[in-house]
Copies of this chain bind each other. A is one copy, B any other.
């Protein structure tokens, strides 16, 4: 087959898929389009390109070589956007540090990623001071600051970002190199062990941009991204490249708004003033915005929002729809760059009532072009299609991490059988929409049946006296596992709540055929609080340690 490959004449240009190439069309088509940082900075794409050149020179002068790693600790900013481009464009790796981790975990990730230079927002200097003297690899620190003033710190700061750029020319001849060069790395927190590093190449980020845009731009009406949109991320840039949308928005040449730290009043103000029309966020943030008193003054009817990172409840979906927000689900994870599926609605579906629409908007969605999704059983055999017939989501696409950084064992588990294992259990409806029913490790296997702990948690949470609930599998000699419900009562409601009340409540759903009779929990424990991970997920590992 070797001679079946396309022959390249000596002078022909073998075009590599590099991040720098995303900049061609916006600079021709939209050089005057704006990029906005809070109420502080406003510049055009021409300036973005110049500052990317300046930053590239600055990094080189700091000693950054191709293959080195440059870490960033910042809120969402135009400076972060500049790093998204300049760092990989000189052949270095961008490490987007998750500033929500504990100082010890942050130390672990800096160390593990072997960061050479660290760009840090002044707000995070106290974190670094806590782990000072234990950071081995970082040679230079650069301060990110809106004021430009050097703050009080015991750390040795080598330079301030803006002063550094000011001294550098804008012209930079970005070199070509292998499109499989690592461009980004960041860490994902599971419920077990230390954070694991994922990584993406230039090729993967370019293909993720094209593939995600193909799905985002082509819906007939609902939730489509176009050249007239104004983009503002509300999933942090340190979290899976803000879902890759800063790259997509830049390639499209649309107006971009970076809000700094997420404060509800700032976000609402920016949406109103800058006419933001497209964002993405986790359910918690949407909940926070909807609950904020300032929302009444803001017209949100032109705002499209993808919800991801956790399942959206129908209640949240309806509350957002009530504000005129075009809200819908997307699915992916750190390991997948991240976008895999989107829950767009067809024109017929938009004719349905709010409840029917919410049902679809809360689904996990349908696969993007080039994304191959299979639902498989434990032996990797595809499960038959149809509602109720669940299987683990395993995927192939051009933009999946090819392993965990320096972690052969977990890499092989992730890619067992040649498909990336999401660990999510889902079923698909007849129109191809996936719906996640559980995390595989949270599945309760009882008498050959799988019970979805998520579904059971959802049902128990509907009891009016329940504030919070977690369900875990309890070892059982006869059945293998049986569900144990851990319940936090609403303030003043604990008197109204006993084990039997919960069981009767669940039995009601069994009687309605919503869940199987195996789902009624054998035991219910009333607890003060439910353990969470650093990113706010229920920590089932800790709960199992504590209660089993």
In whole Å, how far is A222's beta carbon from the nearest beta carbon of chain B?
Answer: 10
Does residue A42 face the partner (Cβ distance < 8 Å to B)? no
Chain B residues with CB under 8 A of A217: 213-214, 217-218
A408 to B12, CA, bound (A): 11
Q: Known contacts A210-B211, A432-B29: does B371 contact A6 (CB below 8 Å)?
A: no
* CB neighbors of B among A374-416 (8 A): 396-398, 400, 402-403, 405, 408, 411-412, 414-416
B25 close to A371 (CB less than 8 A): yes
B214 close to A5 (CB less than 8 A): no
Interface size on A, residues (CB 8 A): 80
Q: Known contacts A210-B214, A347-B228, A367-B24: does B416 contact A11 (CB below 8 Å)?
A: yes
Extra contacts, 18 of them, besides A6-B204, A25-B371 (Cβ < 8 A), are: A1-B66, A4-B178, A9-B415, A12-B402, A12-B403, A12-B415, A12-B418, A13-B419, A17-B370, A22-B369, A24-B371, A210-B210, A213-B214, A218-B226, A219-B226, A219-B227, A220-B228, A227-B346
In chain B, what residue has the closest Cβ to A369? B25
* CB neighbors of B among A164-182 (8 A): 177-178, 180-182
| In the complex, per-residue mask of A33-62: 1 if CB is within 8 Å of any chain B CB, else 0 | 000000000000000000000000000000
A14 to B415, CA, bound (A): 11
Chain B residues with CB under 8 A of A12: 400, 402-403, 411, 415, 418, 420
Chain B residues with CB under 8 A of A405: 7
Does residue A520 face the partner (Cβ distance < 8 Å to B)? no
Chain B residues with CB under 8 A of A10: 412, 415
- Which residue numbers of A lie inside 8 Å of B, CB to CB? 1, 3-15, 17, 21-22, 24-25, 28-29, 66-67, 91, 93, 177-178, 180-182, 199-201, 204, 206-207, 210-211, 213-214, 217-220, 224-228, 251-252, 346-347, 366-373, 396-398, 400, 402-403, 405, 408, 411-412, 414-420, 431-432
Q: Known contacts A214-B214, A219-B226: does B373 contact A6 (CB below 8 Å)?
A: no
Chain B residues with CB under 8 A of A219: 226-227
In chain B, what residue has the closest Cβ to A175? B1
In whole Å, how far is A290's beta carbon from the nearest beta carbon of chain B?
Answer: 28
A15 close to B67 (CB less than 8 A): no
A201 close to B6 (CB less than 8 A): yes
| Pick from B5, B346, B415: contact of A13, CB under 8 Å | B415
A11 close to B181 (CB less than 8 A): no
A178 to B418, CA, bound (A): 17
A159 to B396, CA, bound (A): 38
Q: Known contacts A226-B220, A252-B218, A398-B17: does B11 contact A415 (CB below 8 Å)?
A: yes
In chain B, what residue has the closest Cβ to A14? B402
| Pick from B9, B29, B181: contact of A403, CB under 8 Å | B9
Chain B residues with CB under 8 A of A207: 17, 210
A226 to B225, CA, bound (A): 11
In chain B, what residue has the closest Cβ to A25? B369
Chain B residues with CB under 8 A of A403: 7-9, 12
B396 close to A15 (CB less than 8 A): yes
In chain B, what residue has the closest Cβ to A370? B21
In whole Å, how far is A217's beta carbon from the nearest beta carbon of chain B?
Answer: 4
Chain B residues with CB under 8 A of A400: 12-13, 15
B13 close to A396 (CB less than 8 A): yes
Q: Known contacts A25-B369, A210-B211, A418-B13: does B224 contact A226 (CB below 8 Å)?
A: yes
In whole Å, how far is A393's beta carbon from the nearest beta carbon of chain B?
Answer: 13
A24 close to B432 (CB less than 8 A): no
Chain B residues with CB under 8 A of A4: 66-67, 91, 93, 177-178, 181-182
- Top 7 A-B pairs ranked by shortest CB distance? A9-B411, A9-B403, A220-B228, A217-B217, A11-B415, A210-B210, A4-B67
Q: Known contacts A9-B408, A12-B411: does B213 contact A218 (CB below 8 Å)?
A: yes
Chain B residues with CB under 8 A of A29: 366-367, 431-432
| Pick from B21, B67, B369, B415: contact of A24, CB under 8 Å | B369
Chain B residues with CB under 8 A of A225: 218
B213 close to A7 (CB less than 8 A): no
Chain B residues with CB under 8 A of A204: 6
Chosen A-B contacts, 6 in total, with CB atoms closer than 8 Å, are A1-B67, A12-B403, A13-B400, A25-B367, A28-B366, A220-B227
In chain B, what residue has the closest Cβ to A210? B210
Chain B residues with CB under 8 A of A368: 25
B91 close to A1 (CB less than 8 A): yes
In whole Å, how far is A483's beta carbon from the nearest beta carbon of chain B?
Answer: 33
In chain B, what residue has the closest Cβ to A204? B6
B5 close to A180 (CB less than 8 A): yes
| Pick from B5, B21, B398, B420: contact of A372, CB under 8 Å | B21
